[in-house]
Amino acid sequence: MKMGSLESEWNSKLNRQSHDYDTQSDQAMQVATLKRHAEHVEAQTPSYSYEEKLREELNLAQNIKNIDSDMHTPATTSTKSTLAGMGAAGVAALAARGISLGDDKVDLYTKHGIDFEKDTNLEDDYALHTIEGLSSEDAQKLKHMGITSTKGLAQLSENTQASEKLAKSLNIETDKVDSWIGKSCLLTLPGVDKKTADLMQNSGIASLEHLATTPPETLHRKMEVFNKEALIPVSLPDIKSVSLWSKISKPLTAGLALGTVAASTSSYADELKAKLNPNNLDLNAVKQLLMNKGISLSDEKIKLYAEHGVDFENTNNLEDDYHVESIEGIGPKYAQGLREMGIRTTQDLVKKLHKNHDAIDQIAKTLKIQPDALSSWISMADLIQLPGVDAQAAELMQTVGISTAKELGITNANSLHGEMLSFNKKSPIVPEVPSIASLSLWSKIAKLLG
């Protein structure tokens, strides 16, 4: 066989292997998405119940076995065999540079053409002082808690409540901890130093998951714009590097590089089965607890909130209906005018006026206000029904463009958090912007409420 033909054949094989691996990454992202409560499951009809949603999630979880089987086809085994020698050479090259990575990451980097001898910043763990804004005092406190490096912070990204608990322990804002965790995750990528991680964060990338779902071209443009406006510009990564990080972040986010896909799926299926067991929730006890606080919620909402870990004892603003005066901008005069027209509560605002443009125009004219002002009240009334959302949080979300709970349900929590932080910094509405974990919770519940 001629050398040209041989080279062509091997290039063709490697291209197929690369395609196989990209397919695996996409499939693993499906599993990761499912594990995060199957966010793509949408209500088909208004009567689509809480239990039906969970059962559909469970069916999807059980069907992931087919995906997992596809991910271990002979083609995948061939890919691993072909690249095994290169991986061993990579381990040796890293050891010579004093860098230690797990075999799974070496295999992942090999598949994506990382040069273990020449590429810089291949470590996936750094000292805590690498994180911009993390003081030596806070670093010391973190070490006392067993978090001794950036990898320890990055591991907290798997627990949506971890940042809030850690912020409370350190007596600092949750946003600051979220930033540390996000930056630590970005630093696990090959070739990403602290300045590049800062630039990605400032360009709206708050996590590996967000990076994995952001088009590289879009991110590169945002990084370029931010870098031009920065007081001290940094070296801008090229589009090839950004594309590489996007590809690598998919399997890292999905757990493919850690070999946890099948275990995660099985665990999630078991979790869903447990949720479908009515014996796991003492509904009467929760209803009594809420009654003692003067709160009345439907059984379906109590089950939904319980599934998503809502703390009924300590969470504020669990009501889903309030007097209209609770909405920012509705004073006694407007409240009285609304009551005279049969609108006494926030749910009245939503049920009677949502998408009813003629009624909005008529009531706005009667109250002598602009229809847009009334529409903003309706938006806030819709958002305030979610657990933990107060009037100020609803106002801030509405101000940055979230007009309904349904719209919140299809909005990326990381992107929304960044927009809320930016707006609140310029024109303060809330003392502290809700955390990404809170926004993610509200988004999931809003989606299921339909």
Write the pLDDT tens digit of every residue in 36-62.
Answer: 444 433 333 334 444 555 555 555 545
Pair (109, 249) in one structural domain: yes
DSSP state of 330: -
Pair (374, 439) in one structural domain: yes
Is 293 part of a structural domain of the chain? no
Number of domains composing the chain: 2
CB 89 within 8 A of CB 69: no
Is 355 part of a structural domain of the chain? yes
280, 313, 340 - which closes a domain: 280
* CB contact set of 348 (below 8 Å; sequence gap of 6+): 324, 342
Is 262 part of a structural domain of the chain? yes
User: Which of these, 434, 353, 429, lies nearest to 389 by C-alpha position?
Assistant: 434
What is the mean pLDDT of the segment spanning 89-106? 83
Kindly tell me the burial class for residue 23, based on how many C-beta atoms sit within 10 Å of its own C-beta (0-12, 13-18, 19 or more).
Answer: middle
Lowest mean pLDDT among 153-162, 316-325, 331-340, 423-432: 153-162
Pair (98, 228) in one structural domain: yes
Average pLDDT over the chain, rounded to an integer: 78
**What pLDDT band is residue 144 in, cutting at 50, 70 and 90?**
confident
- Structure-derived torsion over alpha carbons of residues 213, 217, 223, 224, reported in degrees to the nearest 10: -170
SS3 113: coil
Is 364 part of a structural domain of the chain? yes
Pair (261, 322) in one structural domain: no
Stronger pLDDT, 171 or 15, i.e. the higher one = 171
Stronger pLDDT, 315 or 82, i.e. the higher one = 315
The two tokens of residue 312 are 């009924």
The two tokens of residue 262 are 């099948």
Residue 25's pLDDT is: 52
Pair (275, 305) in one structural domain: no
Pair (306, 263) in one structural domain: no
Containing structural domain, residue 49:
1-124+188-280
Pair (51, 95) in one structural domain: yes
Percent of the chain with pLDDT strictly greater than 90: 35
Is 142 part of a structural domain of the chain? no
Pair (29, 86) in one structural domain: yes
Instruction: Give the count of beta carbons closer than 10 Å to the beta carbon of residue 348.
Output: 17
249, 280, 311 - which closes a domain: 280
The number of residues making up the chain comes to 450
**What pLDDT band is residue 388 in, cutting at 50, 70 and 90?**
very high
Residue 241's pLDDT is: 93
248, 280, 312 - which closes a domain: 280
Residue 377's pLDDT is: 94
Is 169 part of a structural domain of the chain? no
SS3 323: strand
Phi and psi angles of residue 203, each rounded to the nearest 5 degrees, phi first = -95, 10
200-236 pLDDT per residue, tens: 998 989 888 889 888 899 999 999 999 888 877 888 9
Report d(CA 432, CA 424) in Å as an integer. 9
Pair (345, 251) in one structural domain: no
Stronger pLDDT, 257 or 12, i.e. the higher one = 12
Q: What angle do CA 141, 144, 148 make, to 5 degrees?
A: 90
Residue 189's pLDDT is: 93
Is 363 part of a structural domain of the chain? yes
Lowest mean pLDDT among 82-86, 150-154, 199-203: 82-86
Pair (120, 263) in one structural domain: yes
Pair (420, 326) in one structural domain: yes
Pair (273, 383) in one structural domain: no
Is 386 part of a structural domain of the chain? yes
